[in-house]
Chain A
């Protein structure tokens, strides 16, 4: 199956304001309109926001699945091999573990194993429900596991326009793509282009805010406390450059390096556990390729190497907060 060519320029036409969740639904809706090979399968998908999709496309293209992630993920991969372009909604990112053999051993490897004879155009949606006492077995942010697998692309958009544009790029990509959406971002509103061919390219970071003193790379839901921290610091005259990678695999190291060349200081903020997370990878690459640009050691602010607590009192202090981020920026100055 062909890889559809992607438009790389942002759309210049009309846009409307909507939430992150609505932009995500619109992306799926438009891609299903555009290409009849696209269909949706997963748990609860005709319940949570999926009802409009069922109304428009019928139950032949919106499949409710049993609680059996390994089997329905395998079914989706088989459909992709045979010419469909499924969007598999795994509903909670912690459930992806159950489907990981299918994703890693089949979806990520079959093109390689067959010498390029098989394409697997499939999208896996993994929603990260990290707060609100979801507790250890439902609150994981498991994208670092999958970054360690060759053959997968991974996106983690943080704005309504980016989730729409990147989700559409994922559907059109032609390779297995994992979408890690942080549910803390669902209510955020922003301008979203109405052009049905508006795409955000996979692999390109976005500079959310320009700055000169410190480079701050914020991953997924960490963008919210990051922007609060950076606004507070800006009132004191501290200028932080905020970069949202948007894609976690491949990472846009060029954009990171360009910013570090300007600031000489690097902080990475994310909600994944600290051992072998995205910050670890970015730190390693910057140490290898941009060491001479750094004026201070690289810092990371992330979740500790313990499980997410159920207790609201403990959970409140678990993920990076505005104050943690402000303190880390001060350490770098």
Chain B
């Protein structure tokens, strides 16, 4: 099964965020709840946790990319 990694919402008025760093590479094992990326909003730097355990199958939003909250930034294959 594939699970989408979503750009988290971090408060009223924050409609977009920029991927600062992926802490995992495509193909790496990840555990549910593990921090896999750091993203920056106008207000703070926020950690993105893996929504499921499995393999990081793809990175949709590369480092430096700015995307809207709730957009898919990566995929985990269970």
- Footprint of B on A, CB under 8 Å? 19-21, 48-49, 127, 129, 131-132, 183-184, 186-187
Q: Say yes or no: A19 contacts B42, CB within 8 Å.
A: yes
CB-CB < 8 A to B13: which residues of A? 127, 129, 132, 183, 186
The one of B17, B43, B66 that contacts A49, using a Cβ cutoff of 8 Å: B43
A48 touches B15 (CB 8 A): no
A51 to chain B: closest CB distance in Å?
11
Q: Which residues of A contact B43 (CB under 8 A)?
A: 21, 48-49, 186
Given A186-B13, A187-B42: 18 more A-B contacts, CB < 8 Å: A19-B42, A21-B42, A21-B43, A48-B11, A48-B12, A49-B43, A129-B12, A131-B15, A132-B13, A132-B15, A183-B15, A184-B15, A186-B14, A186-B43, A187-B14, A187-B16, A187-B17, A187-B18
Interface size class of B (residues with CB under 8 A): 10 to 19
Interface 1/0 per residue, B1-43 and A, CB below 8 Å:
0000000000111111110000000000000000000000111
Cα A49 to Cα B42 in complex, Å, equals 10
User: Bound complex: CA of A48 vs CA of B12, how far in Å?
Assistant: 9
Measured CB to CB, the nearest residue on chain B to A132 is B15
Determine the chain B residues whose CB is within 8 A of the CB of A21 once the complex forms: 42-43
Shortest A264–chain B CB gap in Å is 36
CB distance from B40 to the nearest CB of A (A): 8
Name the CB-closest residue of B to A312.
B70
Chain B residues with Cβ below 8 Å from A186 are 13-14, 42-43
**25 residue pairs from A and B, CB less than 8 Å apart:** A19-B42, A20-B42, A21-B42, A21-B43, A48-B43, A49-B43, A127-B13, A129-B12, A129-B13, A131-B15, A132-B13, A132-B15, A183-B13, A183-B15, A186-B13, A186-B14, A186-B42, A186-B43, A187-B14, A187-B16, A187-B17, A187-B18, A187-B41, A187-B42, A187-B66
